[in-house]
Chains A and B, each alone.
Chain A
């Protein structure tokens, strides 16, 4: 039961945030792109201070003003500047691995921990369940001990 709560909680957290991020459309499209400047600065467009960055940002704003959707703008940019312009891997094919593997690794890690801990607990329970010495045995042992002590 407790195990299910832990897993349920973690899965819910991951789902909420991934789902939230994937549908987020706050109009800030700049964060979707890397700077495609000829210098290959390798920075995200929103953090880039190279002189060309303003031109690309304006291009996005013009597309938005022209009524293009987020997907259409992304497609236009990929067509013009290549796939490296996108700030996230494509969520399909091999690119999907980037999104799926980290949460899966965490869940697998949690599952391993829980399985190991359960195994430990089972062996502990088995140890506890071993027959305990009876009162008579203890009394006998105590008599032997007293006898041995007095013989010293």
Chain B
């Protein structure tokens, strides 16, 4: 590796940083003002790439390309405004995470709308008119378009900075970021402000996407890749800080460029391919930054958002009705294999639902009573699944010891990651857990000699006596029921009270002698172990696992299940996971556009039951009892 090639890669990194910056800046603005974590932000970027590529191809020439890019940015900004007015405005008062659920539903809908409009093939844009050539730099050729992008980043940064510092609109944005309640009290029209900020953020995202057409083809995977990159940039830079977003975008793009240019190095006789680190580099950077500077490079401690959501009712032990219902559910589970002799699929689906329930219940344990919103719960599922599978593959272990190893390995992983995670809170905790999950995913994906890489591990079949569907179902049911009862017992025990105390008022909890971080760390570890059981069973139920089983979408599915059921009730995750798994199954078999349908159903539920299904039913029950 020569110095020249290193510098050249660094320039390439700067070009990539600009695109990243546009998306991240929009995300950061929107979060700062509305406190909504807009997962659909990446979808708007993807849409921008599709629209701009189409305009450039159809109109052609400089007008089609450059005019198309500007038109696209404005169009995406308008779409953002419509989304804000039609959907998000209705749920600003819902719990913070519920809004997340709604934006996730949008991701699903937009993805399928794109598939419907443009089809599954990638759409390639033309090369930029006027910038088709290349500039000779350091004896190599850098595309002129990259030079343009390198300059575009700082230009937009300066423009945004000017808007934020000098204009009234910018002052309102900064004021809302610091204390939106105060701003409302001063008589500022918040609805208008929120809509315009949402439009501006979406415009930036659309612009970022549109500018990519000369660099990469538009494809349907862009939405989630871009959003996870953008999250990392925002968190590393510091929430709400625009210069921070640019700095972070540059740092991350440069670290990636560095990894590529270093290539293979030999450390102590072992060849390490550093370029493979690119997948995990940004998450490593994020983990390091968050550990050293919990609020990002240029971020400040978040101002407290006064809770808008309804606080939680005290936990009540199960009454006779709930106990009866629970017993009936257990009996039904025990009888299902006998009743479903003629429909083997019922058992397959049943096992899927049970695994989802255990997964969601373990996530709820830390999300609800612990107040720790993990965005990377798939990591512990994956650790459990891979621990079991690899022990079977490499050590020819039988099923029972492999299933015991699953939670142990997940517990160790959760203890390690959790130790760092509990030092943060809110969005930062969410992003750090996501980073850890991505690190686990990357290791699994790249360490192909051991994990089988993208092919995964095949042939993990249950051994006797669990080698038939019915027995496997009973085992899964037993583990799920025991797991849920254990978590429930912990929540009613002093430990659970201490965990909720730490969530309700850390100040008060510390003042009565509770070590909040330690309690939350232990809670995180317990949840990881229980989740590992679900992962272990999953490996045997499917017979094979691949990195796909532990990617971001599983973590997000977990969040959706918990929120769908209702985060404030103990039975919420059970209902939410069952409904989600069944919906996914039924819808998936009905149509090619299952994502859009699922998204639509979630949106309906969000608008109709802002407290989740169980919470909503509880409210209906209360209203019924109080009727005149």
Decide whether A and B assemble into one complex.
no
* B residues apposed to A, CB below 8 Å: none
